[in-house]
Each structure stands twice: as C-alpha cells, then as structure tokens.
Structure 1
Amino acid sequence: MKQLWLYSMRAYLRLGLFFYFKKIEVANAENIPKNKPVLFLVNHQNALLDALLIATKNGRFSYFLTRASVFSKPLVSKILKSLRMLPVYRIRDGWGNLSKNNSIFSMSSKLLNEKQAIVIFPEGSHDLRRTVRPLSKGFTRIVFETIEAYPETELYLIPVGLNFKHATKFSDSTLINFGKPIQVSSNLLDEKNKSVLQLKDKVSSQLRQLTTHIESDNYELTLQQLEYLNVDFTNPEDVNKCIASDFNTCKKITSKQNNFLKQFFKFLLIVNLFVPYLIWKKVIQPKIKEIEFTSTFRFTIAITLVPIFVILVMLFLGFVFQIKFAFLYLLNVIVLNLLSVKL
C-alpha cells in the first residue's frame, strides 16, 4: 500500500506540476547512479516546491530531510511523513530539540546502506536570492556516520542546481540541473576535518556552476543588469559566463510578443475558477509571511481546491443540465490552463 501511495502521489504531483509550470527541463539525469546509495545536495530557493520538483524528476523514490517546523500540525506531519519526509531540527527550533536529530541521522545512514536516496538542502534554509550560500555541515555528518557505520557502502553525492525564471510568478519555467557524482569512501576518515572542508568545497563549487551564482558584493546591481538584459535564468552556464565577463558576452533577449494573449486566456481561466482564485487572493496570499512560500501555497491551491471546485461545478452542470455540459466545462478549464501557462 505504501508503494501504491507513493506512485499515485508522484503521478498526481507530476500532473499538477505539468499544468503549473510553462516548462520543466531536466539536465544531466544520466549522472544519477541506479541502485546505489545517493545523497542529493540541492540549492534551496523556492520552499516546498523545490522538494516536489526533485521528488518527481530524479528517477528515485527519495527521502527528504525537511525543517521540523513544517511538521507542527498533526495532519500535515502525517502526510509529510507518508511522503518520506523526515524532520530535522535547527537551533531556532530550540536547543532541547537538537538531540532529536541523532536518530534522524542514524536512520539516514541506515537508509543509505540499504541503497536508498536522500535529498538534503545543505544551505539550511530557503532564499530567493540567486546565489549559492555557505553550506552547513549537516550533510557531511551523514556522510561520515554512514562510512563509519557501514564502511563498505558505495556512497555517491549528487549536487543539484534548481533554476527558476521567476520563482514567485505564475506561470514559471525551471531547470533541474544534476551535477557530476562525487563518490565517497572510508578513506575520508583518515583526515576527517580536512575531508569535511574538501567535501563542502566540491559540492559548493558544482552548485555554483549548476545554478546562477551572483556574489554578495554588488549583488543588487548585478541582478538589475541581468534582469535588464532579460537573461534566461534557466540557462545558468550562459548567465554565469555573462557575469564573469562583466557583461561583455551578454546578449539582451527580446521578450515574445504573446503577453496580451496569454493574459487574456489567464483572465478567462480565473473567471472559470473564480472561487479558488478568490480564496487564494483574499485569504491565503495575504497571510504568507515569507515570499519564498508564495509558489508553494499557490501550487497547493492548484492541486487541492481547484480540482474540488471543478468536480463540484461538473456535478452541478451534470444534474441540472446534461452530462455533456459538465465535460465541456472540464475541457474548457484544461484548454484555458494550457493556453495561459504554456504560451
């Protein structure tokens, strides 16, 4: 039953993401080892949406180390744990809770020994800034606990760069960029402190190539120049070259002239889904305290309230008029969604 639940949820989330994103591109998926223990190390910009993209596009049923605060409500906690999300406590969660991480890290090592895949966001928190932040030592602790407890484990680290064109907007495009595997072995235990720094440097170096990385010095000015040039942030290689050349190799990209048509279809979609839209605009969105959660909550509305509303309208049309009107309404919503998202 657990496997059926996971397959069903992944299929449903894939469908939801297809209708939510204009384009989801996956690069270098061939770098992911099959039937090997893998630790995915991902930059973190877009809250829970980052995890959903990795879960549906990495080809593995993965476990996720997730900040403990999102497990605060019992029902939410039960759902998240059923999706293989494991709570990790931070200092802000209280010093007394940090000891609970011991069992989570031990479980992670055991899972890796069983050739499972685990996803970690080593920056420790989410941030929309287009920069790779300093990595925490949490992932190295799991690495060393694994090779100490299970020295024969053939463990691979896969850095992953998540790239969004406009992370808070609808619709958006994204690139999931898988890096080169970093194999670790018990030899790292010879000089543990040095090995920790080397691992962090290797992972951070790859992440800076797999996603757009703007240094903190003159961050705002650099970002403004890139946005003026309308660069494609889902092409981090070109964007990073542009930055490195002091904008000498950059080319300004002209926007497509279909914005009016796209907005027209979006308006028609809102008219057809006016109740979920009003709940989003008047109830949910005003309560969002961290901008990084904007897309996460919008997507949640899209895969929960929208289908419920559509089913209710179809039932009404089917009973009051004819069943064909119910399916015409469904077809209308699907077509308008595709036109407002994919154009």
Structure 2
Amino acid sequence: MLYPFVKILSRLALRIFCRQVTFSDRSLLQHKGPLILACNHPNSFFDAILLGSLFEQPVHFLARGDAFRKPVVRKILTALRMIPIYRLSEGKEYLALNDSTFERCQEVLLQGGILLIFAEGLCENRWALRPLKKGTARIALEAWKMPHLAEKCAVLPVGINYDSFSRFGKRIIVHFGKKITDQDMPATLSMSEKILHFNALLTAQLEKGVLTSDGHDELVQALISNHTRMQTGDDQLIASLKEAQARVTPEEAEKLRPPGLMAGGIADMAGAVLLLLPALVGWILHIPYYLLVKRFVVQKTNGTVFYDSVLYGLLLLTYPFYWILLNVMGMIWLEYWYFLLFMPFLAWITLNWLDCVNRLVNGRAFANVFYSAPSSR
C-alpha cells in the first residue's frame, strides 16, 4: 500500500516542484513489462522518483546497498520497490549479496515487471554521459538466456536532462531511445564481447538523448529552460537543441539570468501584473517553511549529489503537515481563512509569476536560437 500512496502524492508534488517535464514519446509511459529502463544518472534518487512516479506500471529500481543496513529503513525501501546493489567501496563482505540482487532482478522481469537501472553506476550533477558500467548488460544478457524473456524483454534507453540540479521549479526533458533486444546480440559473440557490444549500443542511444555541456553549463541550462520554444516535435527535441547548442556562443547564454528563461513579450507583462497579488500571498505563506527546509537540507547534503532528492523528499513528507497546521491556525485566528485551503495552488501561481518576471528581466536575448528555422527542422 505504501508504493501506490507515495506514487500518487509524488505525482501531485511534481506539478509544483517541476515547472515542465517533456517526454520524447509520452506513450511509452504506458509500456508494460518485462522491461529494463537503462538510464543516465545525473540527479541521485530524484531520477528514480521522476520515472517511478510517471510510469503507469510500478517501477523497481536498484539503489545503493548502504542505505539498506538499518532494518526499519530496509523494510520501507523494499516496500517502495527498491533493490539493494552493493559496490566494492561499501566493503568486500557485501559483494556476495549482489547474487541475490541479480536473482531478484530476474524475478521482477519474469513477473512482467519494469526494472530501472542507472547504467553509469555513479551519479554526478553534470551535463555529461559517464562511461557505462557492466551491470545493465549482465542483467539484460542473463534475462535473455531465458526463452520467455528473450522473446518479450527489451531494454529501453532513457536520457534525463535537467535545467538545474538545485532550483525549485525545474524543467526536465526525458528522451527515450530505440529499444535494445536479444535480436541485437550476435550469437557468435562470447559473453564478454556481448557486454562490450551491448554497452556500445546503449551508449549510442543515450548520447542521442543527453545534452552535454562541454564545460559551458549556462548554455545547456538555457536551452533546456526554453525547450518549449523549439519549433519541432518532442521526438526530435534533443536533436534540435543540439543544433541550437552548436549555433550559440556560451557568451550569449551567460547574458541570461538563471534559469535562463527567454522573454515572451506582452503575455509576460500581463502575467507579472495580474498574478502579482496572489503570487505575493503564496510567497508569504510558503517562504518561511521553504527556507527552513532548504537550510536543513543544505546542512545535511553539503557537497554531495543528494541535495535535490532530499529537498524534494522532505518537502513531500512535511508539506501536508505544514498545510494542515496553517489551516488549523487560520480557523482559530482568522475569520476568512478558507483561502488557506488553496495554498498549493497559490504556490503554483507564485512559480508562474516568477517565470514571467525572469523572462522580462532577460529581455529578448538570443531569441534567434529558437525562432530561426534551419533546414533540418
């Protein structure tokens, strides 16, 4: 019961925590298992939260084994469909436990489940694709040894692109690549050769779906922030953004105020004026709570890749209690307290107002990137 409840709550929270989530093919969110999602890993647990919340079928995923050491935590994580995977850095004595992990992965697939694996192994908050580990290939190849899974199980490459790893109200692009199946594995290859071949295929697909900054983070952030301005279909979005990336100088992108939203003209002026009052109310109601949670998370995650994930998780768990507390206080001290019931909506309005202001501040910097029409579009 825990997983469905958290999934529903997380879907609602994502509508505020993320301003926009764009999929190259949204129909794949309805995909049935057996299926392996082979994903890049730029943003710690939030990568799993995002996909697990938005896929219709429950998603099982591999997580760091050291998180499972406390019995109570282990029960909670297991109820959330997490499977521990152990690394050498966590101690040689734990590596033997990976045998049961691989067995559990095969069970999930045999039962028609969806398994999420982060093919890079480690997480880094950066716009680049790391060399792939062997784990995804091994799990897929072992599954394809079974006749039932050889026919039905596929590996779906997933590239996740964030405009920020720390901002509230982020924009995300999720790109699904071409599926990899048992038919793509030449029968004449040895196991080690198949692993190399699999990783080459997967790397090629992930590279098509992941924007890389090459040291110019501001440019990639600006492109992702404004991706809805691209005059192209969602399935060609990453390719079009890469074309735009090649045309724009980093100096042009640095002129934009983070998160790099491009001006929208009269609509933004109207939004900045009309939404000012409700946005101000939403800001006053939420800023003390948000800053308190943020300060706590910064202290606990300083210098790690877990900031975004812990912030989202803590807001998800504590906001309902904060909302109840303010409504109870309003009932006691305010005559017209009913507006407090709409606090989440006011938070959403505040984020929309901030977007309008950001676009007005930026002016029309490098608008030609999104409105030019190269021949490939």
TM-score normalised by structure 1 residue count = 0.84
Alignment counterpart, residue 29 of structure 1, candidates 26, 29, 33:
26
Partner of residue 338, structure 1: 348
Alignment counterpart, residue 182 of structure 2, candidates 175, 180, 184:
184
Per the alignment, in what secondary structure is the counterpart of residue 263 of structure 2? coil
CA distance in 2, matches of 1:7, 1:189: 41
Q: What is the number of residues matched between the two proteins? A: 327
Which residue identity does 2:330 align to in structure 1? L
Partner of residue 208, structure 1: 207
Which stretch of the first structure deviates more once superposed, 252-261 or 279-288? Answer: 252-261
Which residue identity does 1:232 align to in structure 2? I
Which residue identity does 1:177 align to in structure 2? H
Partner of residue 82, structure 2: 85
Assess if the C-alpha contact under 8 Å between 1:273 and 1:306 holds in 2: no
Which stretch of the first structure deviates more once superposed, 267-276 or 291-300? Answer: 267-276
Per the alignment, in what secondary structure is the counterpart of residue 182 of structure 1? coil
RMSD: 3.0
Partner of residue 263, structure 2: 256
Partner of residue 142, structure 2: 145
TM-score normalised by structure 2 residue count = 0.77
Q: 1:224 to 1:22 in 2, by over 3 A?
A: closer
Partner of residue 116, structure 1: 113
Alignment counterpart, residue 8 of structure 2, candidates 2, 5, 11:
11
Alignment counterpart, residue 324 of structure 2, candidates 304, 311, 323:
311
Partner of residue 65, structure 2: 68
How far did 1:290 drift?
A: 3.8
Partner of residue 238, structure 1: 240
CA distance in 1, matches of 2:85, 2:76: 16
Per the alignment, in what secondary structure is the counterpart of residue 292 of structure 1? coil
Which residue identity does 1:124 align to in structure 2? G
Cα offsets for 1:92-144 (capped at 9, x unmatched): 11111111011110111122122211000010111121111100000111112
Assess if the C-alpha contact under 8 Å between 1:110 and 1:146 holds in 2: no
Assess if the C-alpha contact under 8 Å between 1:26 and 1:57 holds in 2: no
Unaligned regions of 5+ residues in structure 2, if any? 228-236, 254-259, 356-377
CA distance in 2, matches of 1:141, 1:334: 44
Structure 1 segments of 4 or more deviating over 3 A?
29-36, 72-76, 185-190, 222-227, 245-248, 250-254, 257-270, 319-322
CA distance in 2, matches of 1:138, 1:330: 47
Partner of residue 156, structure 2: 158
Cα offsets for 1:313-340 (capped at 9, x unmatched): 2122224555x51x32122x22321122
Identity of aligned residues (%): 21
